[in-house]
Chains A and B, each alone.
Chain A
Amino acid sequence: MLAQNDREKFDALLQPILDSAYRVALRMTRNSDDAWDLVHEAVLNAFRGFGHFESGTNFKAWFFKILTNTYIRKKSKHRPESVSLDVSENPELFLFANTKHTDAPGEDPAQAVIDKIDEEKVSAAIENLPDEYRMACALYLLEDLSYQEIADILNIPIGTVRSRIHRGRNLLQRSLWESIVGDEAEVRS
């Protein structure tokens, strides 16, 4: 049973992280309605379990753990998603290696490639990641968390976090490159 002033304490801890919780949920679920529902459900789960939160510890990490657990549980009720990218064949520095093949003008083709990356391309690239990579990368890109903090939230070994983030980054680069090349082809045609 929660004490009367627990609601105030809970609100004070929750309010500063609500926007980032929604953004992480949006990257995980890839859908604004599902992100809305996920955060609502996670908040209620956290509120009901607030008695287990140790005062003075990291509320954000505690809440994000509940958010990801809620997501995993909800997802397991639905059929598995299809993976749209091949994880095994993604060399590092993919974008950098390809900058010379772009239509980018000017003296700095690498910077010109970065300038072509907009919010829409980044969202699409994150959405294309396989689920387990997307969860680690969402926490990593949106929250500046350390490997250890992400490992604690996702309840996986730190080496797995490192590998998902490194591979996820390579997958993101390939996906971004494909959308840049797609735009350039459209302009040319």
Chain B
Amino acid sequence: MSQPNAFDCEEAFRHLGDFLDRELTAEELKMVEEHLLICETCARQFHFEEELLACLKSKARLAKIPEGFRESILKALDKAEQA
């Protein structure tokens, strides 16, 4: 049975966004991962993008919730329920 050839750098790079977002098909993912095993340059770039994305997600989630926010929502719901 013939196996598809691994991606080259350009093809791997074209799949970078979907790779980061876990939106690749199983076959595409395998092709990207196989390329990363043999290409140190791409592996370094992909690793950087993964680290950066994890950093962005964690920092974006640090925003503080204002004091009294939850209570204020529940109070507004009480009022709406009585109306």
B65 to A114, Cβ gap below 8 A?
no
CB of A96 within 8 A of CB of B48, answer yes
Place the interface of chain A in its size category: 35 or more
Q: What's the Cα separation between A35 and B63 when bound, in Å?
A: 12
A14 to B74, CA, bound (A): 10
A55 to chain B, nearest CB (A): 19
B1: chain A residues within 8 A (beta carbon): none
Least distance between A12 CB and chain B CB atoms (Å): 12
B16 contact set on A, CB distance < 8 A: 92
Q: How many residues of B contact A (CB 8 A)?
A: 34
State the Cβ distance, A141 to closest chain B Cβ, in Å: 5
**Bound CA span A18–B71, Å:** 11
Q: Provide the residues of chain A in CB contact with B65, threshold 8 Å.
A: 19, 22-23
Q: Given A32-B66, A47-B77, A122-B56, answer yes or no on A147-B23 (Cβ-Cβ < 8 Å).
A: yes
Selected from A14, A23, A47, A48, the residue in CB contact (under 8 A) with B63 is A23
A18 to B73, CA, bound (A): 9
A86 within 8 A of B: no
Taking a contact as CB atoms closer than 8 A, the residue among B20, B22, B55, B60 that contacts A114 in the complex is: B55
Evaluate whether A162 and B17 lie within 8 angstroms (CB atoms) in the complex, with A95-B52, A122-B56, A146-B23 already known: yes
The complex places the Cα of A126 from the Cα of B80 at a distance, in Å, of 34
Q: Which of A18, A122, A138 contacts B69 (CB 8 A)?
A: A18
Option from A114, A121, A165 in Cβ contact (under 8 Å) with B21: A165
| Smallest CB-CB A-B distances: 6 pairs | A122-B59, A166-B17, A141-B60, A119-B59, A96-B48, A119-B62
Interface residues of B (CB under 8 A from A): 13, 16-18, 20-23, 44-45, 48-49, 51-53, 55-57, 59-63, 65-66, 69-70, 72-74, 76-77, 80-81
